Structure 1
Amino acid sequence: MDEEVERVHHLHDDAIVITDYTTRRVLVDNGSSTDILYYPAFQQIRLRQDQLYPVNSPLVGFGGMKVQPVDTITLLVVVEDYPQQITKEVNFLIVDYSSSYNAIIGRPTLNSWKAVTSTYHLSVKFPIEYEVEQVQGDQLAA
């Protein structure tokens, strides 16, 4: 356990931000009740408009403001490299709002991954087959 902490500079209150993947700057937020893909990231990955589904309920929590999602989309998310990876469909709300992140992974996905987050270690652990895999957050990006 101590070797996991060696890469993290303490004392900190940093968020868990994953940067090692195609969609960089993904915030892991077990305080978020939904998974969010920000509109600029949606535009950059050039998905087809027919993959979008309308949504009619606003989000609250962006600085206390209500934000109306643009649409919702289901994407296949892969974390880590084969064979130590998890691959799941994630339902993202697409939000046209300014953010330093491209996406937020919230409780729905963390629960479906059976993930455990540690802000102290800046890491996320999740079970795969017969072992536990770990994704390390990027403290500089946080």
Structure 2
Amino acid sequence: MSSPMLGFSDEDKDGTIQPHNDALVITLRIGGYDVKRVLVDQGSAVEIMYPDLYKGLNLKPEDLAAYDSPLVSFDGKTVTPKSQIRLPIQIDLDIMEVNFIVVDAYSPYTAIVARPWLHTLRAVSFTLHQKVKYPSEGQVKEIIGDQAMA
């Protein structure tokens, strides 16, 4: 079975404030909770979780696995992550396991989902249109960004 064509048109901009330079910020169901302020970052190779989400999900140190590969943050500084954890992200009926790197740093976001998540979902994101589109059950589904949160 072939996947439906994923694309964007001017109609996809309906409901957005144009012109804008906003990041794509969405709400995702992570670990069984609706998590707001999740940044979709096509330029990142790893999913990141910040302290607010770690605390909000009531995760314990024993839930985490070691991770010691340094990361480079947005401002070019090297950040040494604490650990990683594998958690489910649910979109409609689709559930996928994602490895989040837990970083002890300030961020306006609770988490960042990146290329591994987009590729697993077979999704396309577009900041201009403030949407993520992905194929599911023979149709195109979408996650709409929250410009006010961005």
Do the two structures share a fold, i.e. TM-score over 0.5?
yes
Contact conserved, 1:29 with 1:105, CA < 8 A, in 2?
A: yes
Which aligned segments of 4 or more residues in structure 1 are displaced greater than 6 angstroms?
none
* Residue 141 of structure 1 pairs with residue 146 of structure 2: no
SS of 1:23 mapped into structure 2: strand
Choose the corresponding residue for 2:84, options 72, 75, 79.
Answer: 72
Choose the corresponding residue for 2:47, options 35, 39, 44.
Answer: 35
Map 1:4-23 → 2, pairs under 5 A: 4-19=12-27, 21=29, 22-23=34-35
Q: For residue 106 of structure 2, what is the aligned residue in structure 1?
A: 98
Q: Structure 1: 5+ residue runs without aligned partners?
A: none
Please report how far the alpha carbon of residue 104 of structure 1 lies from its aligned counterpart in structure 2 after TM superposition: 0.2
Please report how far the alpha carbon of residue 127 of structure 1 lies from its aligned counterpart in structure 2 after TM superposition: 1.0
Deviations 1:74-111 (A, max 9, x none): 000112x3xxx421000000001000100000011111
Identity rate of aligned residues, in percent? 41
Q: 2:74 & 2:10 partners in 1: Cα distance?
A: 35
Deviations 1:45-84 (A, max 9, x none): 10233221001111013311000111000000112x3xxx
Q: What's the TM-score, normalizing by structure 1?
A: 0.91
SS of 2:133 mapped into structure 1: strand
Q: For residue 118 of structure 2, what is the aligned residue in structure 1?
A: 110
Q: For residue 61 of structure 1, what is the aligned residue in structure 2?
A: 73
Choose the corresponding residue for 2:60, options 41, 48, 54.
Answer: 48
SS of 2:21 mapped into structure 1: coil
Contact conserved, 1:19 with 1:141, CA < 8 A, in 2?
A: no
Deviations 1:2-33 (A, max 9, x none): 43211011111111101365111000010111
Going from structure 1 to structure 2, the CA distance change for 1:93 and 1:20 (only over 3 Å counts) comes to closer
* Residue 25 of structure 1 pairs with residue 60 of structure 2: no
Q: Given residue 134 of structure 2, which amino acid in structure 1 is its aligned partner?
A: F
Aligned residues: 138
SS of 1:43 mapped into structure 2: helix
Q: Structure 2: 5+ residue runs without aligned partners?
A: 1-8
